[in-house]
Amino acid sequence: MLVLTRKSEEQIIIGDEEDPIIITVLKIQGGKVSLGIKANKKKYAILRKELCVKDESKDSEDSHKENEEDQKDCEIELKESVTV
């Protein structure tokens, strides 16, 4: 695992120059860090880890639909908060 230290408004770039993923530290407050992620949404799905963990008690089709809705919500939140 690579560990990096960044201050507010500093960035991390992953990938190549043609199609980078840019992660920006937007705000650090208390024990929380707000990140902005700029990436090709057709190529990369960006989800919180808890959305990727399968819930055994739900039907996989229902879970898939919920994950798609949650991903759309995440994309909207990112678009509103990213100022890169």
Residues 3-29 pLDDT 10s: 999 999 999 999 999 999 999 999 999
pLDDT score of 37 more than 90: yes
Range of the domain at 53: 11-81
Q: What is the pTM of this model?
A: 0.60
User: Which residues are registered as beta bridge partners of 33?
Assistant: 28
Position 72 in a domain:
yes
Position 2 in a domain:
no
Count the domains in the chain: 1
Residue 49 near residue 58 (C-beta atoms within 8 A): no
- Say what percent of the chain tops pLDDT 70: 63
Tell me the CB-side half-sphere exposure of residue 9, using CA atoms within 13 A. 0
pLDDT score of 39 more than 90: yes
Which of 27-31, 40-44, 65-69, 77-81 has the lowest average pLDDT?
77-81
Position 58 in a domain:
yes
The overall average pLDDT reported for the chain is 79
Position 69 in a domain:
yes
